[in-house]
Amino acid sequence: MSPLRRALLGALLGSLAFSLIHPSLRPFIWPRLSNIAASQFLERTPLRLTVVRKAPAPKTAALAAYVMLLASEKGPENLSAAERGELLELSRKWAEKEPENSFWRQYAAVLEFADGNFAHARRDWVRASKSLQWNDYQSARLDEIHQGMVKEWRHEFAWLDASTSVERSIFNAQLIATLSRELLTTVPPEEDLEFRVASVSNGLLIRENSKSLASAAFGRQIIENSYKKNPGTDTSIHRLITARYEFIAELRKVGLVKEATEVEKTFSSNDTWLGITEPDQAEEIWRMNSGAAILSANISSGIFLSGICGIALFWGNRFLSKVAPFKFITEPWHIVSAAAIAGSLAYAYSRLIEVALFTSSVIAIQAFRVERTRKVEPEEIGLLFPFIASVIGLGVTATTVMAWLQASQAFRYLGPVTFEPNSVINVTDWGLISFVALLLPLLFARIWHWVLRVPAELLAARFVARTALTLAWTGFVGAAISTPICAVIDHHYQADILKMRQNEPKVYWDATGH
């Protein structure tokens, strides 16, 4: 080995050793086996709506709000009268402790409406509008989920924040928005203006204090419903604009000038809010950030894993070549039987006639052998043979990385909501790709066997060795280069995703200078 090669090899080994030892880089390069299994924490924590079986004791405001979130998911109308009574008592208890939080009285109105107590529901709705803030305590629940995941992984990946954000629910805001529309149909004429002004205030509280765009959008919907004669059915732009101005004019007419000014200001900000926070654009940005988080957390470890596989394949091939050399079957009927069986199995697995024919053909051509073979030196094989093996090695590297990526926890919990279904390769396809890759050494070894009159077994062993070396070098060099890059990228996206998890509307609002 030349001095330059020794220097490069030393630099590679030093870089890999540094990445494996450094606490900030090791999580990105080391392929943890637990990464391809479900998260023990996420599958067991009762803080996830998809996991919880029994509502926790509402000892704190956050737990009380979580109990109500579970009820919102189920629907108050699907609860028993006794269950609604317990929830109503709980909401009133926390409304007394936190009179500044409108959420408790809004939820009390939801429960009263479900019980048919419309007057009590309207009273709670109006009282809720006098509060100063709105908090359904989902952020506290998400913080606990995030802490549990960080503890499990022992590192703060960006995808942990992204997967935590997915757990935020819109059920509370959606339920309250539905209430505002349905409760309006029960309002007597003498309470109409007061109720509509209260709806504007309640909608504003939700829109301004929600931590997700989806929930804030329901606050905006409540504001819009306040001036509509028939919320949910009237879609005429002309009639809606007219109704908005008639509502403001009516407030001024009865002497509620201050209220009219505030309502007009809220309507104007509602239009601005819609223009800034476009749902499609917000979803696209979130998908981009989430996708980058999945990739940055798993690319380096997948590349390093391919290097490990290359080393294992190289030494395994070398060991078997000396201890138990591979021998092709020679009996024609054995080959025909093997081709038929392999082709049938390939079709049963893939349901593709092309794959079955390719499999049968590769095995069938093994029957055509050159009887007299000779020994050949490596240079006589030429450049095309190792080139093909190297290209396949690169393909195996890419396949290993993609398979590792799709098997990861990050993809398990974020992939379905981040990537389009058509862009994902399923488990069956990965098995098919691996099966076809195993046939390639047999195919090319037989072709070179015919051309060079060299034992096919020897050529197959050399083909596998070259593929393994390419896999190993690509994996280790790629991991050494990509690990620090992925760590930097992950840190960058973690900051952005954390801001979105904590207060998504503020991110878009600040981005426009408002």
* pLDDT value of position 113: 95
Mean pLDDT of the chain: 88
Distance CA 151, CA 100 (A): 34
Backbone angles phi, psi at 115, to 5 degrees: -85, 0
pLDDT at 205: 96
DSSP 8-state secondary structure symbol assigned to residue 76: G
- Amino acid at position 119, single letter: A
pLDDT for residue 168 is more than 60: yes
The proportion of the chain whose per-residue pLDDT surpasses 90, expressed as a percent, equals 54
In this predicted structure, which of 23-32, 53-62, 487-496 has the lowest mean pLDDT?
Answer: 53-62
- Is the pLDDT at 287 greater than 80? The verdict is yes
Tell me: pLDDT of 494 over 80. yes
How large a percentage of the chain has pLDDT more than 70?
91
Q: How many CA atoms lie less than 13 Å away from 278 in the CB half-sphere?
A: 6
Q: Which residue has the higher pLDDT, 330 or 153?
A: 153
- Which has more pLDDT, 235 or 184? 184
Task: Give, in order, the Cα–Cα distances in Å from 344 to each of 352, 450, 456.
Answer: 10, 27, 25
Buried b or exposed e, range 349-375, using 16+ CB within 10 angstroms:
ebeeeebbebbbebbbbbbeeeeeeee
Give the residue, 157 or 403, on which the prediction is more confident: 157
**Stretch among 131-145, 181-195, 380-394 having the lowest mean pLDDT:** 380-394
| pLDDT higher at 283 or 119 | 119
Torsion angle of alpha carbons 123, 125, 129, 134, nearest 10°?
140
- Assign 356 a pLDDT band (cuts: 50, 70, 90): confident
**d(C-alpha 48, C-alpha 66), whole Å:** 10
Tokens of 255: 């002497």
Report, as an integer, the average pLDDT of 315-323: 82
Which residues have C-beta within 8 Å of that of residue 508, sequence separation ≥ 6?
Answer: 213, 276, 277, 282
Q: Using pLDDT thresholds of 50, 70 and 90, give the confidence band for residue 40.
A: very high
Model pLDDT, residue 278: 67
Identify the pLDDT of residue 424: 65
pLDDT at 367 over 60: yes
Does pLDDT of 462 surpass 60? yes
C-alpha closest to that of 35 among 417, 303, 404, 312: 404
